Structure 1
């Protein structure tokens, strides 16, 4: 790669490993190849660790495990296996950053957070250098599966939001497998974007559920995506790209020059294939170099 063509930086990205020791699934005519996940994840992480230009981190967009009806002990073993694969394959050379997904919470939130090194709030930001910032959101915080105690601020707000936004043709995202961000997290996001604007930084958002209309199917969006998209993200000149998982088919939308991309799930990569990407960030564009079933894209920023 010639010097003038080198990216400012690069990072790896994987969506929905979603491991479980289960027979293959069949959802909407697509296969979920649960038992192939460990091998595919090892291969993906090994390729990302060896990638050139070197990746500065690997981002997993949520649902590291699926959950298993065999019980909590089995869920915990499956989680430990997949978490160990990240440790072994990245070897401390490349940090892994994790997004909380709805299936992740088949493991207690406090266990998930501690094992994966996620900050206690489960939303956080990191400088990427070169005038860029990564902001990670928790779209499970306001949900029926949040793992927060009944009576907690998060639980009360989820119940209030559900009551005022019943499932309907206008709100098809209000299913139990989706969730949203609380008022407190929304205020924090505003402050992060304001800080980025003041520092002349551009921002990449990562969340499990998609936040931009058309970036995923309407049934797989975050509960309060409209508020997040319109009132916060599109209102900030710093925001450039939102990455999500959850909708295993993937998707992409561009709204007012800002991009909303959902990565295809590793869980559903066909036999003999894989699903991950390297994002190369240039001054004027982001190149998503997809591997296997992840779509490659060139996004002007």
Structure 2
């Protein structure tokens, strides 16, 4: 009995999943960003450090508050899916959000698969994890439509927006679970279409298994982008092209096969790449989802960075870094498990440690 109670207490202590951050500040021509990243729950044979992840967050926030921080970006999977089974989702989320309240800067939240294991889209829209109010309003008022004004309820719409922390540099957050069976009511059109697509591509009894699949990204814990969202992205990038902006795109799931495992790709990653490669403004795509990270420079000069996670990082180490943004390059100064990397914009050489 005593051992059982101890195991239960340990399980409750481990409810908070690691989290992912992006932090920025500007100094004249130099723009510095600090990142700390973690990803979703992995197989049991891999060691995870849930409690230490929260400690990493606390120490990072203390450090960030001592600097002139402009914003923080949370890459998704803010709590683990096991909370839903234990009826502890709101409690676990509350613990993490209490830490976020200590930040002096605004936080941009991305939604990952573990958000949808715990909550519906309707819930998330009414929660602190919905940060679309931070989007760039000037862009929207010029000539392009706001994709959330379609009249659809939260179960059908996609959660994507863009913002400009400094002049001529735009960030775009994508919804990598727009096409997915996670988080949507089974009666919705998108759920039904997503389930049909998933079953066409994956005949396994366990839809989270890639066994025998030709396109191994078609598993339940991944998702994709609707044509409506890709059309919206195309409009944003067209605007950025015309205004000679640099663009960094972010989503929970990687979109280039050379930057991740073949089972940790967006379902229709090729469609997303097609849109991105048709615009010269995009310089980088940042993602989480995969705990051991990855990187590639594609043939169009776009850097794809899958950031290492603190979930597999022991307490004596870390997994975050500082990104310095210049007119011709971004420099990632890694800490702990994250490598140093210089990412030149198109036409420049890239190298890493």
| Structure-1-length-normalised TM-score | 0.86
| Uncovered stretches (5+) of structure 1, i.e. residues with no partner | 19-24
In the alignment, what sits opposite 2:170?
133
Q: Which residue of 5, 22, 39 maps to 2:55?
A: 39
For residues 10 and 242 of structure 1, the distance between their equivalents in structure 2, rounded to whole angstroms, comes to: 17
For residues 54 and 296 of structure 2, the distance between their equivalents in structure 1, rounded to whole angstroms, comes to: 31
For residues 192 and 269 of structure 1, the distance between their equivalents in structure 2, rounded to whole angstroms, comes to: 36
Which SS does the other structure have where 1:295 is aligned? Answer: coil
Q: Which residue of 93, 111, 119 maps to 2:123?
A: 111
1:286 and 1:248, CA in 2 relative to 1: closer, same or farther beyond 3 A? same
For residues 11 and 127 of structure 1, the distance between their equivalents in structure 2, rounded to whole angstroms, comes to: 14
Residue correspondence of structure 1 range 16-55 to structure 2 within 5 A: 16=38, 27=43, 29-51=45-67, 54-55=68-69
Q: Which residue of 90, 105, 115 maps to 1:76?
A: 90
1:144 paired with 2:181, answer yes
Deviation at 1:208, TM superposition (A): 0.4
Deviation at 1:266, TM superposition (A): 1.7
Aligned 8 A contact 1:15 1:62 in 2: no
In the alignment, what sits opposite 2:262?
218
| Uncovered stretches (5+) of structure 2, i.e. residues with no partner | 1-26, 133-153, 203-209, 346-353
**How many matched pairs?**
284
For residues 129 and 116 of structure 2, the distance between their equivalents in structure 1, rounded to whole angstroms, comes to: 13
Superposed CA deviations along residues 42-70 of structure 1, whole A, max 9, x for unmatched, are 1122223334xx33211111111112257
In the alignment, what sits opposite 1:162?
198
For residues 242 and 42 of structure 2, the distance between their equivalents in structure 1, rounded to whole angstroms, comes to: 48
In the alignment, what sits opposite 1:94?
105
1:7 and 1:245, CA in 2 relative to 1: closer, same or farther beyond 3 A? farther
1:160 and 1:8, CA in 2 relative to 1: closer, same or farther beyond 3 A? farther
For residues 189 and 72 of structure 1, the distance between their equivalents in structure 2, rounded to whole angstroms, comes to: 38
In the alignment, what sits opposite 1:232?
275
Q: Which residue of 29, 37, 40 maps to 1:15?
A: 37
Which SS does the other structure have where 1:111 is aligned? Answer: helix
Aligned 8 A contact 2:224 2:268 in 1: yes
Q: Which residue of 244, 247, 264 maps to 2:287?
A: 244
Which SS does the other structure have where 2:263 is aligned? Answer: helix
173-182 vs 63-72, greater mean Cα deviation: 63-72
Superposed CA deviations along residues 9-43 of structure 1, whole A, max 9, x for unmatched, are 2233332366xxxxxx8737531111222211111
For residues 29 and 75 of structure 2, the distance between their equivalents in structure 1, rounded to whole angstroms, comes to: 22
| Structure-2-length-normalised TM-score | 0.74
